[in-house]
């Protein structure tokens, strides 16, 4: 799992604090390796598990973790109300009170964090990212899929990508539209190429369609 979400040069996740060091110690003792961090979270993988642990832990200048947690829960609600193969697959977690959910909140010191267990996904190639971003812009502009797919201005490479993915584009477009309809004054549309990944079978997966400035 190596998307641009976890390759930012300026860390957006909490680092170099006693709390972040404690989280790192716990993860490494459990056999997890650090994949990277950014976009208010860190990602960890275990060599014997087909999943990734994502821990929401924004940098301290962003305030507490509440906003990032609320954003994830908002996205989770969208995935539950609009089933689609283009949402991530999550695994059940158990929180501090023993309740089962697809996320688990825990506290380190005076700060609360959220742990999410999700499927392992692959990053997009540069040309795929570009096409996803063009799709995202078309959805935001209120265009329709037929116009996007049949636009006469496509060159050979974009046309080849469209033809290769023609079967999944209608459902991907539908998922994008469902996410875009949830943008408002609190959540801006942010579906760029780094916020989409893919499964081994080639299915594109939306992992983070919005940005909130708090």
Closest CA to 32 of 51, 7, 13: 51
* Residue 60 binned pLDDT confidence (cut-offs 50, 70, 90): low
3-class DSSP assignment, residue 190: coil
pLDDT tens-place string over residues 84-113: 999 999 998 777 777 788 889 899 988 999
Structure tokens at 197: 């990944």
Q: Which of 50, 5, 55, 49 is nearest to 31 (CA)?
A: 49
In the chain, which segments carry CATH 3.30.200? 4-119
Q: Is the pLDDT of residue 17 over 80?
A: yes
3 confidence band (pLDDT: 50, 70, 90):
very low
Tens-place pLDDT, residues 141-180 = 999 999 999 987 888 889 999 999 999 999 999 999 999 9
Architecture in CATH of 4-119 = 2-Layer Sandwich (3.30)
């Amino acid at each position: 799992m190596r998307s641009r979400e976890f390759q930012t040069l300026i860390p957006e996740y909490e680092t170099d604090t006693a709390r972040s060091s404690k989280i790192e110690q716990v993860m490494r003792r459990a056999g997890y390796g650090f994949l990277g961090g950014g976009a208010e979270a860190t990602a960890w993988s275990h060599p014997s598990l087909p999943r990734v642990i994502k821990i929401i832990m924004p940098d301290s200048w962003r305030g507490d973790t509440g906003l990032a947690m609320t954003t994830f829960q908002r996205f989770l609600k969208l995935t539950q109300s609009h089933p689609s193969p283009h949402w991530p697959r999550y695994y059940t977690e158990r929180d501090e009170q023993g309740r089962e959910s697809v996320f688990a909140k825990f506290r380190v010191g005076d700060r609360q964090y959220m742990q999410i267990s999700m499927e392992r996904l692959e990053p997009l190639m540069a040309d795929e990212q570009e096409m996803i971003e063009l799709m995202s812009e078309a959805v935001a502009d209120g265009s329709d899929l037929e116009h996007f797919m049949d636009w006469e201005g496509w060159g050979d490479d974009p046309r080849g990508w469209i033809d290769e993915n023609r079967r999944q584009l209608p459902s991907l477009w539908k998922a994008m539209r469902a996410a875009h309809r949830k943008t408002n004054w609190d959540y801006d549309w942010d579906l760029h190429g780094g916020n989409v990944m893919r499964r081994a079978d080639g299915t594109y997966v939306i992992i983070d369609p919005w940005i909130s400035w708090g």
